[in-house]
Amino acid sequence: MSKYDPLSGHLRRQRQDELELTFAEIERILGATLPKSAALPQWWSNVTDPKTTHVQRKAWRDAGYDAFC
């Protein structure tokens, strides 16, 4: 189970093609604070490199979304 599973579940329940969430909203969904690195644009990158372990990306991509900042 990933820390970001609640985010993935939340996104899967959405009916919009696009939505905007603040850091505070994401943290409320997660029940935890985002890491300091979330302030960096590359943390939100949608790159799907199998050599990386960016579980946060898997959360929104598995729900059918891409992140933009």
List the pLDDT tens digit at each of the 69 positions of the chain. 889 999 999 999 999 999 999 999 999 999 999 999 999 988 888 776 767 768 888 899 899 999 887
Q: What is the pLDDT of residue 55?
A: 84
> Can you count the helices (H) and strands (E) in the chain?
3, 0
Task: Tell me the C-alpha distance between 44 and 37, whole Å.
Answer: 10
Please state, as a whole number, how many other Cβ atoms lie within 10 Å of the Cβ of residue 59: 24
Q: What is the pLDDT of residue 25?
A: 97
How distant, in Å, are the alpha carbons of 35, 63 from that of 58? 16, 8
